[in-house]
């Protein structure tokens, strides 16, 4: 071991902060709180308990919990035990959970008692899981929970698991031998096909944490609220980044407006992350009010509308817009703020902020490319803000590959770059702007129409709260866009109002064929609109949609 | 090349900022300024010019310039050309410069026209230097400069060098093949023996930059003033860190009070670094006044006195106290601020801040050790704030080794840790506090006396501006400390006042035998007190000093 190199790992962030800030608050949940020394001790107790339960280096350990302290602690405890963390989306169907556990060859599964009853049916079928650990949320002990032990499963409570900790006297080392080793496997939501297991390395998570620190501005006075699911992209590495900065992390079980506002006020929250649905939840809460301090909201998937941005800025929020995928540890690009944007009018400024931006400080330059015929050479599209191409990324903020899927990995890395499947344009200033998922693009009369572009145009209407656009069958054009619109509280608006509003804002061929008003849009647990369902309904009875 | 790893290099910071902030001010000197795009272009022009001048990958290129833009540009241009940068202290004697150029086998030397006349005598003797480039400071073109071309030397002006740039059409890549490759060689000041060439890697400089960003708090709105010599520890990596953050760097040729205050006011300086002598210069300037914004001063070597700290805080300065050596890319530890210190009285708080602190966020935990008899096992001293041991460090913020000196490297890394040669105690809270350089300790009646401890006790006196303590001969005790004191402007004070002041603050055996008042203390160009000279005078005519 050379004295001038330490393998990079986010484990070092907690071990340092536990030494430097032992008595400083690290973690809060309800009335309970943990100092950094206590958080470290909790991780060590669990690491010993996992080893006592037979977990060996490289074994996979799955956690299926909401944003409770146990889930945050797992980000340290599992790698500290030498194992690989598999965070599981709490909204998955039992069959999906089974698939992930089997595919990742999980040895031990920790599951929230609230989610356990649904899993009892598949539990006996799990191929590699030897131990199931039921973790009860002390703040929700009054909820109906299951503790069934189906035949053929070894089920223990978290308390029972932890009792084993003292039996393990092996040494725990807050360091790793190889920074390229796999830290966690995060399964994609898999809207089509089976979910894929995205492998994160210790090095990648360490470096990505510094991008989070720089771009969200984490510091010792940070109070971070966990509105982003921890199971999603390992919580974008934020559980590691905030600990590196020495801030405090506030857990919450459910992302509901009243709870969020209570925590914002009680803990002086300075930062929170989340999908647009989180932003909407916060802004639509009855409790919403002007802040007495600045709060940075780092948001992905889609930017807030100009009206929303204006309202949020006035209330004390500062929006950081980022873009990435599970395959890029969460955010890869950031809509880096430019001083001169302050001089723009609201709409122009919002248009700048709506773009996905540039590679973060530890990321490489993001590219928008077309692929030549042999599929290997990637050619940058002109930076003309109009030529669409695929977003590709590479480097330290890109996954190692898909777990046990060399074929999908090779395909994703064709030409030496990770292919996002997202279509974007490159602006002359080097900022990318997403136009669509490749599979969501509407092909109308041979023209590609970006549903995101149409959605943004509609969301600029002050009476529109939320909007989704999908391609629907059209006898003449093949497809035409259709808009599903959620109207803001108290507003009254017609289809004609929307179409009239679009007339000067959008090329005619991009205009929706019709507008349907809906009370709410179907979304995934991570806040992405489920266009698939909307499309299904519209296409039923028609021939299969023709893809450009 | 795997698509999920990019070799770490600070080159990426400028290439990213030139893309993200092309029109943002990156560098200022006098009335001239460079945007990030222009700074990148300047580095590329010089890299081409170096290649055209015959510089090949791995060649050493030395720069001996004050803190002018050309020196900052060299931090990017030289590695971009594939070469290794050797920054040379502008205050070295010609013979020392010759030694460094020969030892590092420098191919090309860039020297300020003001420093050139002194070098003309040794220039013909340089063993490996093929080209000497004279760089004239446009802001000081009126100064007497030399342009002599001694026989046997190839001397060109910077303008002539740059004319060659267009002749080189090789591709420049803002990336490296190996993050462990040597980026720069920084020669130690070498108070005893020959200077040693400290090798920095691309990876180390990259990671250290993030510690600078986190602990000094650099961001896009940073205006950094170059009061720290760029040749010293590659300017603590700050020239890379501020570019990563997207801030602006303000150059100045000489660290004088009026110029500094003018630049602070003119550019709204938010950050500056420097040795205590820089702090003294700033605070003693006639122009000193309360700031209208906060200014972070990151200072090394020794902390300001309690009285100075109090005065500076009241004026708007915020002090970050760091400690390190050339061998640790500059700072390795930081006196990390703790919230509860705000409740302490001035003296108690200053005592906390005076400590060297804890490892930075990208550094490993710092240790204070004694070495057992076989010299290999390092044993931590108790964290009792009184047992002295040697400060040792390791990991990514430690040099690769001494250039062409495997013996010194092996000795420095004995037991797998870098030996600083500094003596310290470990406090119960994990903060180290320096007590002395091993060679500066005073051995009196068999007791080790830390001269730093005595200096700090004396500097707490409100009428003391600066102080140095060395061991002087004592017939009875072998040695006793003697203090050399610089009195604050306008104050009147006697030896008896000082000794009376120390009575309750310092153990009797540590009290100086006598106090000598001097107008100024001899210091190195990096602000360290030259105790050697003070000691020489006192020991002349005595037998060699006995070392404990």
In a domain, A506, yes or no: yes
Do B483 and B413 share a structural domain?
Answer: no
Tens-digit pLDDT profile for residues B110-159: 999 999 999 998 999 999 999 999 999 988 766 555 566 777 789 999 99
CA quadruple A526, A532, A538, A543: dihedral, nearest 10:
180
Residues B349 and B411 in one domain: yes
Q: Give domain status of residue A388, yes or no.
A: yes
Answer whether A6 touches B (CB < 8 Å): yes
Query: Which among B69, B125, B61 is positioned nearest to B87, based on CA atoms?
Result: B61
Based on the domain organization, do B434 and B293 belong to the same domain? yes
B25-38, pLDDT tens digit by residue? 999 999 999 999 99
Asked if residue B204 has pLDDT above 80, the reply is yes
Q: Which residues of chain B lie closer than 8 angstroms to A19, CB-CB? A: 358, 365, 430
The alpha carbon of residue A16 is apart from the nearest alpha carbon of chain B, in Å, by: 7
C-beta separation of A96 from A125 below 8 A:
no
* Domain termination site, one of B438, B466, B481: B438
| A487 is a domain residue | yes
Note whether B292 and B331 are same-domain residues.
Answer: yes
Task: Quote the pLDDT of residue A541.
Answer: 61
3-state secondary structure (DSSP) of residue A506: coil
Residue A448, pLDDT score: 67
ipTM: 0.86
Element spanning B45, H or E: helix B36-52
A339 located within any domain: yes
For chain B, say whether A399 makes contact (Cβ under 8 Å).
Answer: yes
Closest by alpha carbon to A222, among A133, A293, A301, A316?
Answer: A293
CA dihedral A121, A127, A129, A130 (to 10 degrees): 100
Q: Taking CB atoms and an 8 Å limit, are A19 and B337 in contact across chains?
A: no
Measured in residues, chain A has a length of: 548
What is the value of pTM for the model shown?
Answer: 0.87
Report the CATH number that the domain containing residue A58 is assigned in CATH.
Answer: 3.40.50.980
- CB pair distance less than 8 Å for A339 and B4: no
- How far away is chain A from the Cα of B42, in angstroms, using its nearest Cα? 20
What B266-270 contacts at long range (C-beta under 8 Å, 24+ apart), as own/partner pairs, is B267/B28, B267/B223, B267/B225, B268/B223, B268/B293, B269/B223, B269/B224, B269/B225, B269/B295, B270/B221, B270/B222, B270/B223, B270/B224, B270/B294, B270/B295, B270/B296
B130 to B61, B78, B95, B114: CA distances (angstroms): 11, 16, 18, 21
**Both B283 and B346 in a single domain?**
yes
The confidence score (pLDDT) of residue A190 equals: 54
Per the structure, the complete domain to which residue B333 belongs is given by 255-438
Residues from chain A that touch B245, judged by Cβ atoms under 8 A, are 214
* Strand, helix or coil for residue B333: strand
Mean pLDDT lowest among A104-108, B265-269, B498-502: B498-502
Q: How many domains does chain B have?
A: 3
CB contact under 8 A, B361 and A398: no
| Cβ atoms within 10 Å of A548's Cβ, excluding its own | 12
Q: Where are the beta strands (DSSP E) in A54-99?
A: 60-64, 84-87
Q: Which chain B residue shows the shortest CA-CA distance from A209? A: B210
Q: Within this chain, do residues B46 and B174 fall inside the same structural domain, yes or no?
A: yes
Lowest mean pLDDT among A8-22, B90-104, B213-227: B90-104
**What CATH number is attached to the domain comprising B372?**
3.40.50.12780
Q: With contact defined as beta carbons under 8 Å apart, do B13 and A363 qualify?
A: no
How far is it, in rounded angstroms, from Cα B235 to Cα B81?
Answer: 20
Higher pLDDT among residues B402 and B95, named by residue: B402
What is the rounded distance in angstroms from the CA atom of residue A483 to the CA atom of residue A458?
9
Answer whether residue B8 is part of any domain.
Answer: no
**pLDDT computed for residue B548 by the predictor:** 26
pLDDT higher than threshold 50 for residue B356: yes
Give the mean pLDDT of B73-90: 97
Mean pLDDT by 10 residues, chain A (548 residues): 94 98 97 97 98 98 97 98 96 90 98 92 94 91 64 90 97 98 89 81 98 97 97 96 98 94 97 89 93 94 80 93 95 96 92 94 97 79 95 98 96 94 94 81 72 84 89 80 90 90 79 89 74 77 42
Extract the runs of DSSP E, i.e. beta strands, from A283-352: 295-299, 317-325, 330-334
Residue A192 neighbours by CB distance under 10 Å: 6
Residues 211-250 of A with CB under 8 A from B: 213-214, 217, 219-220, 244-245
- Tokens (6 digits) for A353: 């902020």
Q: Name residues 350-379 of chain B within 8 A of A (Cβ).
A: 358-359, 361, 364-365
pLDDT of residue B543: 47
Dihedral of CA A171/A173/A177/A178: which sign? positive
Instruction: Out of B384, B407, B438, pick the residue that ends a domain.
Output: B438
- Contact of A386 with chain B, judged by CB distance below 8 Å, is answered with no
Residue of B217, B358, B398 with shortest CB distance to A19: B358
**Whether residue B388 sits in one domain with residue B302:** yes
pLDDT mean across residues, chain B = 90
Put simply, the answer to whether A399 touches B24 (Cβ < 8 Å) is no
In terms of domains, do B193 and B47 share one?
A: yes
pLDDT tens figures, B410-430: 999 999 999 999 999 999 999
Nearest CA in chain A to B203: A5
What tens digit of pLDDT does each residue of B246-255 get? 999 999 998 9
Q: Is B394 on the interface with A (CB under 8 A)?
A: yes
Asked if residues A201 and A180 have their Cβ atoms less than 8 Å apart, the reply is yes
Beta-carbon separation of A395 and B361 below 8 A: no
Question: For residue range B290-343, what is the model confidence (pLDDT) as tens digits?
Answer: 999 999 999 987 777 888 888 999 999 999 999 999 999 999 999 999 999 999
Within-domain flag for A225: no
Q: Among all residues of chain B, which has the CA nearest to that of A431?
A: B20
Residues B306 and B429 in one domain: yes
| Cβ atoms < 10 Å from Cβ of A346 | 12
- Mean pLDDT for B174-180 is 98
Task: Locate the chain B residue with the closest alpha carbon to A333.
Answer: B20
Q: Which of residues 307-346 of A touch B (CB under 8 A)?
A: 336-339
Flag if A3 and B220 touch (Cβ within 8 Å): no
Residue B471 pairs in a beta bridge with B481
Predicted local confidence at residue B191, as pLDDT: 47
- Cα(A398)–Cα(A364) distance, rounded to whole angstroms? 10
Q: Are residues B486 and B517 in the same domain?
A: yes
For residue B510, give the CATH number of its domain. 3.30.300.30
Question: What backbone phi and psi angles, to 5 degrees, belong to A475?
Answer: -55, -40
- Of B5, B180, B416, nearest to A1 by CB-CB distance is B416
For residue B243, is it within any domain? Answer: no
Tell me the pLDDT tens digit for each residue of B503-541.
877 777 788 988 999 998 888 766 677 787 788 777 766
Q: Is the same domain home to B156 and B68?
A: yes
End position of a domain, from candidates A412, A438, A464: A438
Query: Is the pLDDT higher at B377 or at B87?
Result: B87
Instruction: Among A3, A16, A220, select the one facing B418 at the smallest CB separation.
Output: A3
Question: B182 Cβ partners below 8 Å, 6+ apart?
Answer: B84, B199, B200, B201, B400, B403
pLDDT given for residue B325 in this prediction: 93
CB pairs under 8 A between A and B: 109
Please answer whether residues A284 and A257 qualify as being in contact, where contact means their C-beta atoms are separated by less than 8 angstroms: yes
Residue B316 contacts residue B310 (beta carbons within 8 Å): no
Q: Are residues B416 and A220, on separate chains, in Cβ contact within 8 Å?
A: no
Q: A298 lies in a domain?
A: yes
- A432 shares a domain with A322: yes
Alpha-carbon distance values, B501 to B449, B493, B494 (Å) = 18, 11, 11
Residue in the structure block whose two tokens are 């809906």: A518
Q: Is A105 left (phi over 0), alpha (psi -120 to 50) or beta?
A: left
């Amino acid at each position: 071991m050379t004295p001038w190199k330490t393998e990079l790992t986010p484990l070092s962030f907690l071990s340092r902060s536990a030494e430097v800030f032992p008595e400083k608050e690290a973690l809060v949940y309800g009335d309970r709180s943990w100092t950094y020394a206590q958080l470290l001790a909790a991780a060590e107790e669990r690491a010993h308990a996992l080893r006592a339960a037979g977990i060996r280096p490289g074994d996979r350990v799955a956690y299926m919990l909401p944003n409770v302290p146990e889930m945050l602690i797992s980000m340290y405890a599992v790698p500290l035990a030498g194992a690989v963390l598999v965070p599981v989306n709490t909204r998955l169907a039992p069959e999906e959970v089974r698939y992930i556990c089997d595919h990742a060859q999980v040895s031990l599964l920790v599951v929230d008692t609230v989610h356990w009853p649904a899993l009892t049916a598949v539990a006996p079928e799990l191929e590699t899981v030897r131990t199931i650990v039921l973790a009860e949320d002390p703040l929700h002990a009054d909820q109906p929970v299951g503790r069934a032990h189906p035949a053929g499963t070894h089920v223990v409570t978290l308390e029972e698991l932890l009792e084993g900790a003292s039996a393990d006297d092996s040494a725990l080392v807050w360091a790793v031998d190889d920074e390229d080793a796999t830290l966690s496997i995060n399964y994609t939501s898999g809207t089509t096909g089976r979910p894929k297991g995205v492998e994160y390395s210790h090095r990648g998570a360490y470096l990505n944490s510094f991008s989070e620190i720089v771009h969200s501005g984490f510091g010792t006075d940070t109070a971070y609220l966990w509105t982003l699911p921890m199971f999603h992209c390992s919580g974008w590495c934020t559980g590691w980044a905030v600990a590196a900065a020495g801030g405090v992390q506030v857990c919450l079980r459910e992302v509901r407006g009243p709870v969020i506002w209570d925590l914002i006020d009680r803990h002086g929250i300075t930062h929170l992350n989340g999908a647009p649905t989180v932003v909407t939840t916060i802004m639509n809460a009855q409790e919403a009010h002007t802040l007495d301090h600045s709060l940075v909201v780092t948001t992905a998937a889609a930017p807030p509308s100009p009206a929303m941005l204006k309202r949020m800025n006035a209330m004390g929020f500062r929006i950081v817009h980022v873009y990435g995928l599970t395959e890029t540890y969460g955010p890869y690009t950031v809509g880096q703020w430019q001083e001169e944007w302050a001089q723009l009018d609201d709409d122009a400024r919002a248009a700048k902020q709506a773009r996905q931006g540039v590679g973060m400080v530890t990321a490489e330059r993001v590219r928008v490319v077309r692929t030549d015929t042999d599929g290997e050479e990637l050619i940058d599209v002109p930076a003309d803000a109009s030529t669409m191409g695929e977003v590709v990324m590479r480097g330290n903020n890109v996954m190692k590959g898909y777990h046990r899927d060399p074929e999908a990995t090779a395909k994703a890395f064709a030409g030496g770059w990770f292919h996002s499947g997202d279509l974007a344009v490159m602006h002359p200033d080097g900022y990318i702007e997403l136009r669509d998922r490749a599979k969501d693009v509407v092909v109308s009369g041979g023209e590609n129409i970006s549903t995101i572009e149409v959605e943004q145009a509609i969301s600029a209407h002050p009476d529109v709260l939320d909007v989704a656009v999908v391609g629907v069958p059209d006898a003449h054009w093949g497809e035409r866009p259709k808009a599903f619109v959620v109207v803001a509280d108290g507003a009254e608006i017609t289809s004609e109002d929307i179409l009239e509003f679009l007339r000067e804002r959008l090329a005619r061929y991009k205009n929706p064929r019709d507008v349907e008003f809906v009370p709410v849009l179907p979304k995934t647990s991570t806040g992405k609109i489920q266009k698939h369902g909307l499309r299904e309904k519209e296409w039923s009875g028609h021939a299969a949609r023709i893809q450009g």
